[in-house]
Amino acid sequence: MSNNEKIPFLDLVSLHEELEAELVPVFQKVLRTASFVGGPMVEDFEREFAAFCDAKYCVGLASGTDAVRFALMAAGVQPGDVVITVAHTFIATTEGISQAGARPDFVDIDERTYCMDPVKLKEYIERECYVDRETGTPYHRKLRAPVTAIVPVHIYGQMADMDPIMELARRYNLIVVEDACQAHGAEYFSKKENRWMKAGSMGHAGAFSFYPGKNLGACGEAGAATTNSEDIARKMRMLRDHGQSKKYYHDIEGYNGRLDSLQAGILSVKLRHLADWNRKRQEVAGRYHELFSDAKGVTLPHEPESSRAVYHLYVVRVRDREGLQKHLGEAKIDTGIHYPVPLHMQKAYANYGYKFGDFPVTERIAAEIVSLPMFPQLTEKQQRGVVENVKEFASKEIGKRDAVREPQTSSV
């Protein structure tokens, strides 16, 4: 199908045009009070975001990476510990782990949700570790180090299966930090608690990024960590501010990881729209689902009963991913790949000695995923354009495959 209007992957320009009248006064207020770091705007946003996440505390930070790092450190991860996560995520997850002084290690993902597979997590702890009798802590046999934390990632805005993860964490005394950097407002139905729970409210802490393209994005760099523990919140506040317990009294050596007042003020404005934007993303996802219902050769996102995803991304799987991207590109439809190279195959981690084949589900899906345009303002017309072009490509592919198979089928 020829399509003359470009369909962007994400449209941050129109979004900010719509919000300009609400945002400009925030800039003015910050200029006129010269309150640039900390202060009431940060505190207000922290209170509002904690409430949004059904968490007791929120600590505003400079980035999502800092959120993962400070949450792990504040919850008790020590240098040299092993922290389990997934290889199917953005590298910031493992950067946060490494920057906390720990060694990241991986378990494979669930083939349908693309989130941590709790069965693989259980196998990891039971097969690769022995449990120290005195402390009850699992020790990794080969890495010769204690395993002390789990970082499940709610990838694409879809919830990881938290009940079994929390159950294992309780049994083995492990810290859980949810990487909710793509999942602001996503919900999980906990059978154990018998209620819907927000991303970032289930683990010991939750890490959020407000990088501009996220469901809730700042006009620059920003992040936050949520927790229900007063102690973890207090430690994170110290870590973000040079280890100060009060001005110029440094109980520990910390970091410069604070949230700017300007970003906090902007985030407060945008937070008022977040529920509506998430609802629109869910509608866009629902419409994709309908429009794709008769499509062959395209695997759609799977949302289990226990998950209310917020569709940071809408990711489909096809056999010829490069071909599809090229086809859509020719129709001026932007796409992305999140992410093409699993973390265990990244050059940055070559020294850890992972090899292809270590995490087969992760590897399989990394070769087949394509992220289609997804943002709250995406119109039905634009979506129809995307879907028609994907279907056109997929049916040609199936035609090609059938043509190859034909001689075999006719000889049977």
Ligand X SMILES: *Cc1c(COP(=O)(O)O)cnc(C)c1O
Binding site for ligand X (CB under 6 A): 63-65, 89-90, 92-93, 153, 179, 181-182, 209, 211, 223
Amino acid, res. 143? L
Cβ-based nearer residue to ligand X, 335 or 382 = 335
User: Least distance (Å) from ligand X to the CB of residue 181?
Assistant: 3
For the residues of 48-96, what is the DSSP string, one character each? HHHHHTT-SEEEEES-HHHHHHHHHHHHT--TT-EEEEESSS-THHHHH
Cβ-based nearer residue to ligand X, 115 or 331 = 115
Q: What is the largest CA-CA distance in the chain?
A: 83
Tokens of 193: 């608690």
User: Least distance (Å) from ligand X to the CB of residue 91?
Assistant: 8
d(C-alpha 375, C-alpha 213), whole Å: 9
User: Least distance (Å) from ligand X to the CB of residue 49?
Assistant: 14
Cβ-based nearer residue to ligand X, 15 or 91 = 91
Q: Any bridge partners for residue 260, and if so which?
A: 37
Q: Are strands 57-61 and 129-131 parallel, antiparallel or unpaired?
A: unpaired
User: Least distance (Å) from ligand X to the CB of residue 34?
Assistant: 26
Cβ-based nearer residue to ligand X, 121 or 181 = 181
Cβ-based nearer residue to ligand X, 209 or 325 = 209
Cβ-based nearer residue to ligand X, 182 or 268 = 182
Residue with tokens 């999502």: 64
User: Least distance (Å) from ligand X to the CB of residue 217?
Assistant: 10
User: Least distance (Å) from ligand X to the CB of residue 384?
Assistant: 29
Nearest-CB residue for ligand X: 64
Three-class DSSP category at 242? coil
- The strand ranges marked E within 240-368 are 244-246, 249-250, 307-308, 314-317
d(C-alpha 165, C-alpha 179), whole Å: 13
Write phi, then psi, for 8 (nearest 5 degrees): -75, 160
User: Least distance (Å) from ligand X to the CB of residue 365?
Assistant: 15
d(C-alpha 130, C-alpha 133), whole Å: 9
Cβ-based nearer residue to ligand X, 138 or 152 = 152
